[in-house]
Chain A
Amino acid sequence: MSNFSMLEYGLGILQALLIIVLSSLIVGIMRKIKAKSQKRIGSGIFQPYYDIVKLLRKDEVVSDQSSWIFRATPWINFVTTASAAFFIPVFLVYSPFGVVGDILLVVGLFALGRFFTMLAGLDVASSFGGLGSSREMMISVLVEPALFMTIFVIALFYGGTNISTIVSSANDTSILVVPGILFALIAFFIIMMAETGKLPFDNPSTHLELTMIHEAMVLEYSGKSLALMEWSHAIKQMILFTLFVDIFFPWNFVEQISLVGISFGIIVFIVKVSALASFTAFIETRVAKWRLFRVSDLIAMAISSSMIGVIFFFL
């Protein structure tokens, strides 16, 4: 298809596998840090892996009301988020599959996953599923413009929506040179919290169905489907973290391919992502869940900060 060598394709696949595999580790780390900051011991950092394996082996209970959409959603969710992982450069400056899709495609894939999750929520004919979908609808309606504005800002500064171009140009210019990017950083952070259902927006670990957003939609899942849903949620979170890290803290990306360089790059990547994860977990413990209709002000803040980023570019 294009001019990359077989080795690069191998490395590309490695990058994607890295994201897919390490995603549950990050979830484990965040739970650990949250527990520690609440003076609890909390479960081990590899607990999510055990959960997934356990769930995969369990039988599945499916509601008699639901249709094929309910059973297909976990697969669609996983496929979309996992294939989005292929386009994200992790330790290489460019991702060999960058030509195939750009950041808009990643956003589109997330939207496809979210679309089917909402439908699955409605499919089980319980009011909790409907509750979750309607709230998810509200938040996604507000997050979309914020997300596109941030992408617009990043595309302005780094000349393009192709993720490899963004990362390579980010790699050359240091963050201080381009002040506008700071505003994009704030906006992207808020969007990341909203997209992955972190605390100010949605409390993932609650048991009271009335306060759930994301959990309410996946309430009915069990066994393999629940595992897939959890895993794809983790991958999505991992992708957002990697994007955040690649664009705003683009240190020591591997230009020329060498075994030492790559392994060192992977380690630096893991350190960076886990640092970001612990920072978000720390933020989560410090903030309480906001009332649903005050959340829109937070996202409006994200939109305005990205608009300021745009104006900064034109000054």
Chain B
Amino acid sequence: MDLILPTQIDLLHISAVILLIATFGIVVRRGFSDWLHAYRYQTIILSGIVALIALITGIWELYIVSALTLGIKAIIIPKVLFYVTKKLDSPIKLEINPYVSLRISVIVSALLVAMSYFMALQLPISSDETISVFLPVSFSLFFIGLFIIISRRKALSQIVGLLTIENGLFLFAVVVTHGFSLIIEIGLMADILIGVIISSILLFRMSQTFDSIDIKNLESLRDD
């Protein structure tokens, strides 16, 4: 691992902060399309970070990986989801009253970010600079994604939450393993793509049968 120039270190910090802001963007928004836009920006920033790490560590595979993320995650998946939201015949395209009001959810995600930084401290700090910067970020991305799934009522928001978790995971993988063998990378990407396709099919079915994609009407199977 060659010496990392000081400018590059603060470049890393800046990009980490931008990524966190983009994630908060998802938490704050209410409309379906706003989520997707926020998600798109987050993925673009993510691929930028990957390119930056490739530049710093000089591993050429990372360039392919960042191109891949840009291609699949930034373009294809949002396009599929946009197509789905247009097709949904439920009129209102807004998350009216989520389980946790937007203001409180911002505070909670801030708490989650703090928690992930605290957790990152527990782990032994390694020499590699990128890890110490991006480990807490990937944790916070993961926990915010989890929180979105828990706190939202609309199925689409849960898919976006899922994708945020995937991004956090992807970031953590790239940072720690510097793009381990490509097969696993491609496999991960394919998994996410198929996952999105299946969930959009489910979204279609849901909107046809319940004519709204609200999780409220998915509670018939229970132990009362």
User: Do A and B touch (CB < 8 Å)?
Assistant: no
